[in-house]
Amino acid sequence: MNDSLCKRLARTLAACEQRLLRLLAHWTVTSPWIVLVLCIGLAGLASFATVRDLEFVSGRNDLISSKKRYVQLDDEYAKEFMGIDQVVVVVEPRDVQQGKDFVTGLAEALARETEQVQEVFYRIDTSSSRGKNCSISRPKISGYCAKISASIMTSCVI
* Span 113-133, pLDDT tens digits: 877 777 777 666 666 666 665
pLDDT digits (tens, 9 = 90+) for 72-128: 887 787 777 665 566 777 788 888 888 888 888 888 888 888 777 777 776 666 666
**Which one is predicted more confidently, 139 or 47?**
47
- Residue 150: pLDDT over 60: no
DSSP for 70-112, written as a single string: HHHHHHHHHHHTTT----------SSHHHHHHHHHHHHHHHHH
Query: H helices within 1-158, ranges in order?
Result: 2-30, 32-53, 69-80, 96-112, 138-151
pTM surpassing 0.85?
no
Please answer whether residues 158 and 138 qualify as being in contact, where contact means their C-beta atoms are separated by less than 8 angstroms.
yes
Among 89, 82, 79, residue whose Cα is nearest residue 144:
89
pLDDT band at 48 (very low <50, low <70, confident <90, very high): very high
SS3 (DSSP) at 121? coil
Decide if pLDDT at 135 tops 60: no
Mean pLDDT, the chain, integer: 77
Q: Which amino acid is present at 65?
A: S
- Amino acid 146: pLDDT: 62
